[in-house]
Chains A and B, each alone.
Chain A
Amino acid sequence: MDLVSREVLDLLNLGILIVDETFKICFQNRFMKKIFVKNKIPPQCSSLPELIPGFSSPYFQMSLMDAIEQGHGLFFSAALHETLLGGREKYNIRVNRFLEDGEKRLLLEFTEVTDSFERIRQLRENISELRLLNQELKQKERSIQRLAYYDHLTGVANRALFYEMAEKFLYAAERNREILGLMFIDVDNFKQINDTYGHEAGDKVLVQVSEILTAATRRNDIVARYGGDEFLILLPQIKEPDNYKIVVSKILRAKRDALVSNGVSVKICLSFGVSFFPQDGCSVDQLIVKADRAMYVAKQQEGDNCYYAAEDHHETGPFINH
């Protein structure tokens, strides 16, 4: 190789190796020598596999032989051969065959791509951080939504969600000429439970009542805590007003003993009042007032009573056996 060619190759900003048919090193440029110094490779080695031991693997041997014999151009990516040069830096390698005075030579070009890998790593880190941030935000959004629409103690709907859903159900009932039921439920002797066993015991009773009501209702019914020991249930799309009795029956049939302190349990008794759209009112508030009044009538009797003004009679404990 003439002096000018050597000088030009020395000026390049990529590593150049030229090997002969036996993979003996014929030339290495200045940049290549720097790579060897950086990677603590002794540059005085005379053959390519000696200089870079990875090149002695069957894959490289076969590929380089094909390049020598058939003239295949080769590309070795840093991603697939990360450890080829042993150091931190990463290089893509291109191989081309050329002839020098009739002799076959391979030109190996080493292009440093460490920066690309670093940029990709940073990009992935940023994406990963953004993903975590996004997950946190979604989690917070869900928490905020829960706080805004669900009762903190019992997990059932709060008044805000109840009114929102009630308005929707009422609108649908009006449009589709359906019956919407509203049940008002109050825990009997709740004050007495609180006074006797403490507020923690009272909270346990409220949680259990919520669970009983939720289990007794359909998927689309809405169970809400109206306040204190008062609960509301919205019963959309019921075919007959009488069908509320199925729900009452399921509630009264549930196991209603609440463990309030060590070994002490109390029997939960409930009073129910019901009202219906359209017969008992055209607004949510009217339906609540009617159901509340009915519940009040039921409460005058012994525990587990249900009252519906239009029927003008009480449904009491024994009715569950009907």
Chain B
Amino acid sequence: MDREFFRCDTLNELFNIGVKRAADMLSEIVHRKVSLQIPKIMVSESEEKRLKLGEQFSGPFDGALMVSTISFQNSLNGKANLIFPADKIKKLVALCSAEGIFPPEDIAFTDVDFDVVREIGNIILNCILGEISNLVDLHLVYDLPRVVVYNRIDFNQDIGREKDHSVMILFVTFLIDNTEIEGAVIIDLAVESYRDLLRLLDGIEAGI
């Protein structure tokens, strides 16, 4: 339990450094005060936890989602996904781009919406993955982000299908000026990579 706590604590610290850096970068390009917080991190280490994770995720993200994904290979293999409820995307894009406001009837996604989410995903995911790779001194090869809209994600079904994968969920709160937007980052690691990561974290705990 202590070891698990230490792992979560280390990851939390790591991810918070990453999102702090991402928030600074976002603030600079959108010319607004952006803060990013990670109120909760969850790791699916067992079947039971995986189901719990699904329950926790389904609440705020039960609907259409826009997902920006970066794949990485080499020392660790997996995918990192930045996820937003689709109904929040217009607000996010309007806040981040020069538009400022958006007409309420403007509901269809445009190429610009996809591009903005692609860049935001690129910034946040690169910062988070960059921190992991710095900490454990691993070299990762990244793909450019891919953005897809899903009508609905059945988390349990999707994760259950990937038995040889482990999942970490970071619930991320975006605060842009005074507007709050809830998002999440899901890091999906091949089980071998996940074990490698845990071994490296345990090494840090042991002072190796």
The interface of chain B, by Cβ under 8 A from chain A, is 25, 28-30, 70, 93, 96-98, 103, 105-106, 110-112, 115-116, 118-119, 122-123, 126, 130, 133, 139-145
Chain A interface bracket (under 10, 10 to 19, 20 to 34, 35 or more): 20 to 34
* Nearest-Cβ distance from residue A122 to partner chain B, whole angstroms: 11
Residues of B within 8 A of A66 (CB): 126, 130
Say yes or no for A124: interface residue by CB 8 A criterion.
yes
Q: Would you call A72 and B118 a contact (CB within 8 A)?
A: no
Q: Which residue in B118, B139, B141, B143 is a CB contact (below 8 Å) of A77?
A: B118
CB neighbours (8 Å) of B111 from chain A are 113, 116, 120
Q: Which A residues are CB-close (under 8 A) to B126?
A: 63, 66, 72, 74
Q: Is the CB of B116 within 8 A of A57?
A: no
| Min CB gap A261→B, angstroms | 50
Q: Which residues of B contact A92 (CB under 8 A)?
A: 115
Shortest CB distance A119–B (Å): 8
Given contacts A59-B29, A66-B130, A116-B110, contact A71 B115 (CB under 8 A): no
Is A77 a contact of B116 with CB atoms below 8 Å? yes
Closest to B70 in A: A73
Stretch at the interface among A79-87, A152-160, A196-204, A240-248: A79-87
How far, in angstroms, from A113 to B116 measured CA to CA in the complex? 13
Compute how far the CA of A123 lies from the CA of B103 in the bound complex, rounded to whole angstroms.
12
Which of B106, B115, B118, B122 contacts A124, CB < 8 Å?
B106
Complex: A31 Cα to B145 Cα, angstroms: 25
- Residues from chain B with a CB closer than 8 A to the CB of A73 are 70, 122, 142-145
Q: How far is B35's CA from A125's CA once the two chains are assembled, in angstroms?
A: 33
Are A70 and B140 CB-contacts (below 8 A) given A77-B112, A77-B118, A79-B112? yes
CB distance from A42 to the nearest CB of B (A): 26
Neighbouring A residues of B29 by C-beta, 8 Å: 59, 80-81
User: Are A62 and B142 in contact, CB atoms less than 8 angstroms apart?
Assistant: no
State in angstroms the CA–CA spacing of A77 and B93 once bound together. Answer: 12
A120 and B112 contacting across the interface, CB-CB below 8 Å: yes
Residue numbers in A under 8 Å from B112 (CB-CB): 77-79, 116-117, 120
A22 lies within 8 A of chain B by Cβ: no
Chain A residues, Cβ within 8 Å of B70: 73
With A128-B103, A131-B105 known as contacts, the answer to whether A77 contacts B142 (CB < 8 A) is no
B119 contacts A96, CB within 8 Å?
no
- Is residue A30 contacting chain B, with contact meaning CB distance below 8 A? no
3 closest A-B pairs (Cβ-Cβ)? A77-B115, A73-B144, A77-B119
B97–A94 touching, CB < 8 Å: no
Partner of B103 from the list A72, A120, A127 (CB cut-off 8 Å) is A127
Residues of B within 8 A of A131 (CB): 103, 105
CA distance A261 to B196 in the complex (A): 95
Known: A57-B28, A58-B28. 9 other contacts (CB 8 A): A59-B25, A63-B25, A66-B126, A73-B70, A74-B122, A75-B145, A77-B116, A81-B29, A127-B103
Q: Is the CB of B28 within 8 A of A59?
A: yes
Q: Is A76 an interface residue (CB 8 A)?
A: yes
